[in-house]
Amino acid sequence: MLPGPHLIAGAAIATKLGSFSWPTIVLALLSHVILDAIPHADTVEADNPFNKLQIIIIIVDLIIAVSIIYIFFRDNLALACFGAFWGLSPDFIDQSKLIFPAIKQNKYWKIFHHYHALIQSIKPNWFIGILTQVVAVILILIWVYYF
């Protein structure tokens, strides 16, 4: 999944819980797993990680996500950033094997990586794959404001 929905979901969870706490971290991490279970378009491919088009898509997505977080969560921006960090952290760690080379040996990370690879094998076309992410973000924002 693109980084944006993970960031927004983590920010929403943190601001709803209202604390810099372990439950916030756990739920933000769990939101990552739940969002990745939704069929979606992704930019990172194992055979060609981070080509120019992928980098452009990620940058645009990050700009949109950060803008949404600022607009919707600016009253509690530090907490929103805390949740956003934890919502995206599994992808950051997974894609940072140069920084965290030992992560590949961790048994819990192996379980997560196996699950992640399994759900990543479901690849809808780009329109549907982006649409599912847009709908997820809209539902998250509705949850924040109406529930």
Least confident of 4-8, 17-21, 82-86, 122-126: 122-126
Q: Residue 40: inside a domain, yes or no? A: yes
Q: Name the pTM for this structure.
A: 0.87
Q: Residue 145: inside a domain, yes or no? A: no
Q: Residue 62: inside a domain, yes or no? A: yes
pLDDT tens digit string along 43-90? 766 556 667 888 898 899 999 999 999 999 999 999 999 999 999 998
Q: Residue 52: inside a domain, yes or no? A: yes
Tell whether the model's pLDDT for residue 114 goes beyond 60.
Answer: yes
* Domains held by the chain: number: 1
Cα–Cα distance list, 109 to 39, 60, 66, 92 (Å): 21, 29, 27, 13
Q: Residue 147: inside a domain, yes or no? A: no
Range(s) of the domain holding residue 135: 3-140
Q: Residue 67: inside a domain, yes or no? A: yes
Q: What is the arithmetic mean of pLDDT over 26-39?
A: 92
Q: Residue 146: inside a domain, yes or no? A: no
Burial class (CB in 10 A: 0-12, 13-18, 19+), 147: exposed
**Do residues 31 and 9 make contact, with C-beta atoms less than 8 angstroms apart?**
yes
Q: Residue 93: inside a domain, yes or no? A: yes
